[in-house]
Structure 1
């Protein structure tokens, strides 16, 4: 026991902190057994001895000086330099074991000491034969680099949070490379790991080639559309209201029927819709004629073509017996192409829709399927259906324009590339997704996540509730797509929430990197057990962290707003105590820099000279 090196005594005790009275601030640094102990102030660890083999460990969070008396006081007065330190409980040491948290507390008058190096080793103790990694140096003890168990770190969901420019990306790169180094040190096969990275800003492509596969989503691969489930289609198309969802689903079923039937299927369905419009829709006759002609004009039946010439464009009707000839010609055409009478077609179409599924191989067929759905609705008198679904059609048109030759290309080589990538042969599979919009990021990330989830569920059912492989998903800029929304009628992120709650038993873990925790799904954030917290200043984000992170105190939360770039607060089950770390990740790339107007304008002026 360091009986001669006490820095002060306890003057106040509560369950959440103690107050230490410091008689002389000039004597709190000392040499003990040849080691120099220096109090760095806030974040320094202190020890209170309960007995020779039991100690309480606290961490300093606040410094205050005693008010100087107003009357004349001699310069040598013992009260002149008196100060007070506040410290929060960290844990206790019994024998050679450290345990986080306190069940008992020190007493007023107990001596307080700076925590010695041997006790520091016990606080951050990792067994020699346990794979462990390090991220940097303790902010309060820059000579000390704590290690963390690889197993504890990677057997829980994790978050790296921090404002832009705070060092978040550097931390992720450092962590990934430390995992590789740890695997090499302990002779582990890194390619048996399955890290799947969605790189939004092209920041993580410095991983070694022998351990990584890098794929540009819009250039290298193509997703087979017929593998999409209804939930995938909802995430991809994003129907804006409950009205649009049944239109989308029926459009998918009709598109499936189009792909699995002869070309004449569309012709007789259009003819059926035209006759339904003519018989049942009572609206402005010239406008009704225009719709009917547009449906029938590409049908090659000579009788229909002939009778259309007698369909008055001025009055929107037929003369004499022409109307009956028109009706009979369409009925005959439907009978010849479908083998069903016109009167039975409604029941036939419903039966076909019930038996079909949402498997579609081309986006243009979805567009045609939805067009047919509109026709069915209009033939029933729903004249507003197109206006209600205008945003839906705009979205589908954009998908066709943006991805028909990239992410949904029918090129077999690109489809084979996608299937090969999804074997995850190397330790790190990196998807470059910088070109995807937020809605498309939601679709792509959830789609890949669901592939793994379904495979792991199948493997678990075959192997007596055991899985043979683990997957770690790293979601960069997660707030862009794993978002909390009160208006999300369809719960687009339900696969993320499901993995957050159940992923552990299927060997699937999520690693979220975000600069806006306030926008993240509360369910997903609350299920994370390890947090690396960089500087965050938004009150909204800080309040969300207060509600979602049980490991953090108010003083630590306040401290986060003032962390320097490259430092982080580590809290969670993988860390023996909450600790502030200076991340040493410069070897793996530097934080993204901000373009300075003076530099940009200067370069521009030189070019124009």
Structure 2
């Protein structure tokens, strides 16, 4: 502000305000915000100065008492009756000033402007203030060229309560539609419901760096969140382009990748990451490569990257591989539910037939079966009788009874519906290669205990395929986690773009039950509303870690409800800038007291790196594409070095197995990835050098006779 005392006095015009009546009579309380109108009326080279200081309440009450005594004396004078009534009204008005706890301020109000043309405008300013505040007492003006001073005193005595002074001095009503947007931007203010973090909260550089606190005055205040709570599940949400993926990457990099890279091979918290869009998984793997380029020693035996669709080395995940500690009934029910869940039109008989088929194949203690054998079990009676003959009649009486009494009728009515469900696996080359292998390549228990990093690139899979894959992997991890000790090494299952994954029935159970076994869940999604109601409710009631980026108008209320609508309004979440995130996250003070914090930060942008470690310019699309291709090639090399079968060999093995050309594998413990691949012995009738199916083989049905 430039004080006009710097100008020559003869060029100035100004005045002070004073109260018309010296008695402590009231002015109007604040009801209408006139700040915008005053800003418009003030001349360009003008100043408005409001000074105030506390006024002794005792002195003010003495003045009130004197007025009351005057009123009592008037009651003795009959001729002063009319004046007495008016005096009583004034006493009553004075009493209204103290209906609530009020503070009295001795106030001075002054105006100064330069130039003759400003004189009329200052009168308009005075009239606006007087009209707004005049009541039992009134404001008057007195000319004074020095009404505004750099080091002022309080020359005039206008006594105002806090409610009356608020007409001129108050926090701006930023939510008012009458306050212009340009004016709002000029006023430093915190976002509604979002305060600044105290200096001793989330300021420890040894914690996880999240970003820079967003504050109108405090700049460059870095925020560090305590890593212990990442293991208590978390949710990141935001619409397209909001910076949601950047927030997720920052959390995982700071909480998991950075400690892993710096671990020098020692156990650290591990990560399994499911990415329907590929880019985030590629970014993580790119960061590991860059760390190695900069000299870090990467324990590559703990890093796994699986491309699910059209990968050169397809991972084997056998749905019918027995899970440690899980009964045949429980596993059959889970797999049936996973498959049935992707079909909108429910078929109860087909679902029952599928469940019994899966249970029958699981119950075979001699042979490892795959989901691709379900149609053969239904169609081939000889195959079915042979399999049933290997079952323990006492243990699986219900199975034998079903096939003897109910199966025939169920097959007549629902065989087609059943096969439609298995078509998800047999007609998709990617799904067939993954779920048609007899082996399970996933060593989940080892991944968890040793702190491995497992990336699943699910790009180019269909919606149903992504859902089945994600559901089974989540279920597998959930069941394996139950076999771990309480307080075991933390392992995070993170699902990016969870809205594309669909309804995964086991996720609410993971949130509710698995944390004590060192297994937690991180979810990133565009819209919370796209998640199942059970999952949303569990996320809200069981965990408290929310990272909310910009929301659409339909989703802002849902997101605000999870943070607390008493603190954060939906409109705030709709106006967030890119990479701005409203956070709800706990903090533990040194004395052990835990307190929930709500704040807003801006996370730094992400980079990808070239083979030489230099940053790849995101604006250069060709360069980014080449960096992604190089990263994917290095990821594929992991599977090649571990001697996984190529997709061509996997196709041939599945074909031979389903057609009875290769002896069926007996059940044995899942082998470790570091063990050498054992060659499958070919029958004597098939030359070992043969690599293509014979004409006789091609003529056979894929599922037998």
* TM-score (ref. length: structure 1): 0.54
Question: 2-side partners of 1:167 and 1:129: how far apart?
Answer: 23
Residue 579 of structure 2 corresponds to which residue in structure 1? 566
1:243 shift after superposition: 2.8
Question: 1-side partners of 2:380 and 2:263: how far apart?
Answer: 68
SS at match of 1:448: helix
Q: Alpha carbons of 1:459 and 1:584: their partners in 2 closer, same or farther (altered >3 Å)?
A: same
Residue 455 of structure 2 corresponds to which residue in structure 1? 430
Question: 2-side partners of 1:295 and 1:128: how far apart?
Answer: 67
Question: 2-side partners of 1:189 and 1:351: how far apart?
Answer: 46
Question: 2-side partners of 1:195 and 1:68: how far apart?
Answer: 65
* Runs (5+) with no aligned partner, structure 2: 1-27, 40-46, 50-126, 133-139, 149-164, 176-187, 290-297, 323-330, 368-375, 588-594, 610-615, 622-705
Question: 2-side partners of 1:553 and 1:201: how far apart?
Answer: 36
Q: Alpha carbons of 1:502 and 1:190: their partners in 2 closer, same or farther (altered >3 Å)?
A: same
1:202 shift after superposition: 1.1
Residue 396 of structure 2 corresponds to which residue in structure 1? 355
What is the aligned counterpart of 1:385 among 413, 433, 442?
413
Tell me, yes or no, if the aligned pair for 1:256 and 1:356 is still in contact at 8 Å: no
Question: 2-side partners of 1:475 and 1:591: how far apart?
Answer: 27
What is the aligned counterpart of 2:543 among 519, 528, 532?
528
Question: 1-side partners of 2:172 and 2:431: how far apart?
Answer: 65
- Are 1:217 and 2:308 an aligned pair? yes
- Cα deviations across residues 1-34 of structure 1 (Å, max 9, x unaligned)? xxxxxxxxxx99xxxxxx9x99x99999xxxxxx
- Are 1:242 and 2:348 an aligned pair? yes
- In the TM superposition, 1:400-415 aligns within 5 A as 400-402=426-428, 403=430, 405-410=432-437, 415=440
Residue 581 of structure 1 corresponds to which residue in structure 2? 601
Residue 4 of structure 2 corresponds to which residue in structure 1? none
Give me the CA root mean square deviation.
5.3
Question: 2-side partners of 1:423 and 1:185: how far apart?
Answer: 16
Question: 1-side partners of 2:550 and 2:407: how far apart?
Answer: 56
1:538 shift after superposition: 3.6
- Are 1:419 and 2:443 an aligned pair? yes
SS at match of 2:274: strand
What is the aligned counterpart of 2:497 among 477, 495, 499?
477
Tell me, yes or no, if the aligned pair for 2:273 and 2:454 is still in contact at 8 Å: yes
Question: 1-side partners of 2:462 and 2:549: how far apart?
Answer: 26
Question: 1-side partners of 2:241 and 2:477: how far apart?
Answer: 33
1:260 shift after superposition: 5.9
SS at match of 2:279: coil
Question: 1-side partners of 2:487 and 2:465: how far apart?
Answer: 30
SS at match of 2:252: helix
- Are 1:512 and 2:523 an aligned pair? yes
- In the TM superposition, 1:79-478 aligns within 5 A as 82-85=169-172, 122-123=198-199, 125-126=201-202, 128=204, 130-141=206-217, 143-179=219-255, 183=259, 192-204=268-280, 205-207=282-284, 208-209=288-289, 210=298, 212-218=303-309, 219=311, 220-227=314-321, 229-230=331-332, 231-238=334-341, 240-255=346-361, 355=396, 380=409, 385-386=413-414, 390-402=416-428, 403=430, 405-410=432-437, 415-416=440-441, 418-419=442-443, 423=447, 427-460=452-485, 466-478=486-498
Residue 496 of structure 1 corresponds to which residue in structure 2? 507
Which range is displaced more, 565-574 or 172-181? Answer: 172-181
Q: Alpha carbons of 1:384 and 1:152: their partners in 2 closer, same or farther (altered >3 Å)?
A: same
Q: Alpha carbons of 1:68 and 1:243: their partners in 2 closer, same or farther (altered >3 Å)?
A: farther
Question: 2-side partners of 1:198 and 1:27: how far apart?
Answer: 61
1:536 shift after superposition: 0.8
- Cα deviations across residues 293-316 of structure 1 (Å, max 9, x unaligned)? x999x99xxxxxxxxxxxxxxxxx
Question: 1-side partners of 2:426 and 2:394: how far apart?
Answer: 24
Tell me, yes or no, if the aligned pair for 2:424 and 2:465 is still in contact at 8 Å: no
Question: 2-side partners of 1:510 and 1:156: how far apart?
Answer: 8
Question: 1-side partners of 2:571 and 2:266: how far apart?
Answer: 38
Question: 2-side partners of 1:437 and 1:407: how far apart?
Answer: 14
- Cα deviations across residues 199-219 of structure 1 (Å, max 9, x unaligned)? 111122222143743221343
Tell me, yes or no, if the aligned pair for 1:138 and 1:580 is still in contact at 8 Å: yes
Question: 1-side partners of 2:455 and 2:261: how far apart?
Answer: 24
Question: 1-side partners of 2:481 and 2:173: how far apart?
Answer: 49
SS at match of 1:195: strand
Question: 2-side partners of 1:457 and 1:254: how far apart?
Answer: 25
- Cα deviations across residues 387-430 of structure 1 (Å, max 9, x unaligned)? xx644421212311214642123275xx44x3389635555321
Tell me, yes or no, if the aligned pair for 1:478 and 1:512 is still in contact at 8 Å: yes
1:168 shift after superposition: 0.6
- Cα deviations across residues 214-264 of structure 1 (Å, max 9, x unaligned)? 221343311123226220232035462333321112222454688969xxx
Tell me, yes or no, if the aligned pair for 2:275 and 2:456 is still in contact at 8 Å: yes
SS at match of 1:423: helix
Tell me, yes or no, if the aligned pair for 1:183 and 1:190 is still in contact at 8 Å: no
SS at match of 2:347: coil
Question: 1-side partners of 2:202 and 2:492: how far apart?
Answer: 23
- Cα deviations across residues 182-207 of structure 1 (Å, max 9, x unaligned)? 63899797852111111111122222
